[in-house]
Amino acid sequence: MRILPFSGAPSTDSEIPAPTEGQSEPRPLGSVRRNPTLFESLPTEIPAPLRRSGIIQSKKVNIAGNTADTRVPGAGSALAGFLVSGFLLALLGAILPAWWYLREPDFIAAGNYFLSLAIGIVAASCFARPILLRRGLSFLLVFACGLSCIALLYLAIVSPPLSDWWRVAGLFVLGAGAGLLNLALFHTISLSYQADAAGTVNKGGILYGLGCLAATLLVAGTFYAYTVPTILIFMALVPGFFAVIYARKSWAAPLPGTHTTLRQALRDFRSPGAVLFALLLFFQFGNEWSIAGWLPIFLIRRLGLSSSSSLLILALYWLFLITGRLVAAAILPRVRHGRLLMGSMLSAIFGCMTLYFTDNAFGASVGACFVGAGFASIYPLVAEAIGRRFPYYHPAFFNGIFSFALLGGLLAPATLGYAAAKWGVGVVMGIPLLGSFLVMALLLLIWLESKVTGR
């Protein structure tokens, strides 16, 4: 595209100087004074990279930096990675009834399983950054999925009746793979977060829940049709498939300067509001994963349900959790947050009480639905508040918050395992019930702090 000469009359404010020899005549753009030297600096051709469509830039646009090294392709594939993360972490709650079906139930061993998975996630943060700096983001994504695939194949080999400690080691490796994947995903969604913070967090949470639902349905549908090692081999295909997808894509860092530095983010994390956000996610993930990890065992031991039936009720819990998040995100701008929070807490409390006192499968299904619907709106409320409070983005900072939340999500079921060994399986509903009150109190404190600070 070239700048065409203008044949109309000059502006009434000033006369346009005649072009010098070798200079094209600029076209007037309005009735304001124009400097012809300004047009001399403009290119007569628009560079090819700027004519491409479909490239999403961050809010801090740097046209000069829009090169192949600064673009982040495949935002959809990046968000889809959260589906794999949920699939991997929901595996233990779904496969635990199958392991217990093959041997005498051991609550202490189950607590060790969850604790090992949590330690693996924490350990991943120690060696993720060196891998990222030396080999790059693409390698880290492929390595994380490949490591998770190998861990699932190893767990298929060491299924019961072998010693529990073999599985503890395999779950540690699985947690490390999930932790590496989470860090890599937070790097790939940088530009998406800057374009729409709340939307990106909500989409990631919904895909994460879909992964949990998929893992539960896979085990429930194949429980009596295949052996436990075969089920784990089927599950290993999921991270293996995504490793192939990520290996065929190129990933690069976002534009420098498009998000704050880690030091600035950590300085803000010392504020009371940021600490309250981290604690809220810690306890909320603990509530969700206490149900996700122990609901099938609770129903088998307490009500005498079959393993497949208890897993289907767990799938109902995940389904209502995901659907509730979609509904909550849609109605959030139209409903008072206080009313939504109160309704959610009452639903979660009613569901926990129903699960504790019921003596049949129908009552358990109703309780699971109410608990899932009650927990559903907490995440969209937090996502909206995070997007408003932290408009900037740093992958390591947000991965730290998410890993801290996951740590709470896995420490809670580990604690339940040790507590159930001493006081019985009925204690499984105790932590989610108390955690619901803690989450409600933390949300109220966050809103109060926001009003005081004006942020």
Q: Are 225 and 358 in contact (CB under 8 A)?
A: no
Angle (CA) 243-136-240 rounded to 5° is: 5
Domains of the chain: which residue ranges?
75-453
What are 286-314's pLDDT values in tens digits?
888 899 999 999 999 889 899 999 999 99
Output the CATH code of domain 75-453.
Answer: 1.20.1250.20
- DSSP state letter for 254: P
Enter the pTM of the model.
Answer: 0.76
Q: Evaluate if residue 19 carries a pLDDT over 70.
A: no
What is the rounded CA–CA span in Å between residue 224 and residue 373? Answer: 30
| Distance from C-alpha of 44 to C-alpha of 411, rounded to nearest angstrom | 62
Residues 197, 144, 107: CA angle, nearest 5 degrees? 95
Mean pLDDT of the chain: 76
- Do you know the residue count of the chain? 455
| Range scoring the smallest mean pLDDT among 136-140, 240-244, 321-325, 396-400 | 396-400
Nearest-CA neighbor of 116 among 160, 162, 177? 177
Cβ neighbors of 318 (< 8 A, separation 6 or more) are 90, 209, 212, 213, 216, 292, 372
Question: Given pLDDT bands bounded at 50, 70 and 90, which one contains residue 171?
Answer: very high
Question: What digits encode the pLDDT tens for the residues 367-415?
Answer: 999 999 999 888 777 766 665 666 554 545 555 566 677 777 788 899 9
